[in-house]
Amino acid sequence: MPLLADWLLRHSVVMCLLLHSLVLMTFCFHHAATSCSKSCYCSQSEAGGKTVRCSNLRLTEIPQDIPNDTRRLYLDFNLLTTVPTNAFLQLRLLSELDLSHNELAQLEPSAFKGLASSLQFLDLSSNKLMTLNPEAFEGVQARANLTHNPWHCDCNLQNVMPHMNLEPASLAGIVCQTADPEDAGAQGTPFLLAKDLDLCAVLKKTTDVAMLVTMFGWFTMVISYLVYYVRHNQEDARRHLEYLKSLPSKQGKSEESSTISTVV
């Protein structure tokens, strides 16, 4: 009996240690996934979901340790210049993202990948965006604020903007700082509200002119070939005719033969 009790005691201690280690590891993994990012402030809302505020920290890169259960992320008033590929891939619950008042000039392809089903609001206002790369959004249809950026309005931007789910109140703040073509009348105007503005018209005209020039070039080549073919055939026909004329006539030969026969 003492041996049995000793054996049970030792194995109980081992089991307790294993269970304790398992609980500790689970806690550590959960803490790593849900703890707050360094230098940022985190809070839990009554409605559920974590809010992470990394505002005004002079960040030059998006933090890599943002908790996976973040629902609202504020990165405004920093020094971010780009949103790299897969920057928020692990934040599957993110519904609100504020990137306003940064130095953003570029959104790389797949920058917002993974947020198509969760993101509801995206703030990119007060940055240095001149154009938009549609490949950055990966199907994201969140309400977007794109005001106060130095937009370069051209045919590409005019084709991309209508596919964005823009806040109606923000349309007046999307103003062309530069435009292509320059004489289109877009510069200094909220071009999404200018119904008669068509920045693709010049491109269409250029394309039409290019097609006409190409067609004219092909037509000229065909005509040149036909003229060359006709002249070449005429020259061959003339040479053939001269060759035939240079041959002795069959009729002359037959007359000669008749004369010889008569003499004989």
Query: Which pLDDT tens digit goes with each residue over 143-172?
Result: 999 999 999 999 999 899 888 999 888 899
Q: Where do we find the tokens 């084709």?
A: 159
Beta bridge partners of 178: 152
What is the C-alpha separation between 153 and 161, in angstroms, rounded?
10
In 3D space, the residue among 87, 146, 142, 144 whose CA is nearest the CA of residue 113 turns out to be 87
What is the C-alpha separation between 251 and 256, in angstroms, rounded?
9
**Strand spans (E) along 127-186:** 143-145, 151-153, 176-179
Q: How far is CA 165 from CA 31, 142, 175, 262, in A?
A: 36, 6, 17, 111
Instruction: Please report which residue ranges of 65-144 form alpha helices under DSSP H.
Output: none
- Across 209-218, b (16+ Cβ under 10 Å) vs e yields eeeeeeeeee
pLDDT in tens, 95-117: 999 999 999 999 999 999 999 99
Hey, is 246 helix, strand or coil? helix
Q: How far is CA 102 from CA 29, 42, 141, 176, in A?
A: 33, 21, 22, 19
Element (H, E) at 254: helix 250-263
Confidence tier at 197 by pLDDT (50, 70, 90):
confident
Q: Which two tokens stand for residue 85?
A: 């590929």
User: With 90 as the cut, is the pLDDT of residue 87 above it?
Assistant: yes
Residue-level pLDDT at 215: 67
Task: Please classify residue 40 by burial: count the beta carbons closer than 10 Å to its beta carbon, then call 0-12 exposed, 13-18 middle and 19+ buried.
Answer: buried
In 3D space, the residue among 144, 44, 156 whose CA is nearest the CA of residue 96 turns out to be 144
Q: pTM of the entire structure?
A: 0.65
Residue-level pLDDT at 213: 56
Confidence tier at 2 by pLDDT (50, 70, 90):
low
State residue 24 phi and psi, 5-degree precision: -65, -45
Hey, is 107 helix, strand or coil? strand
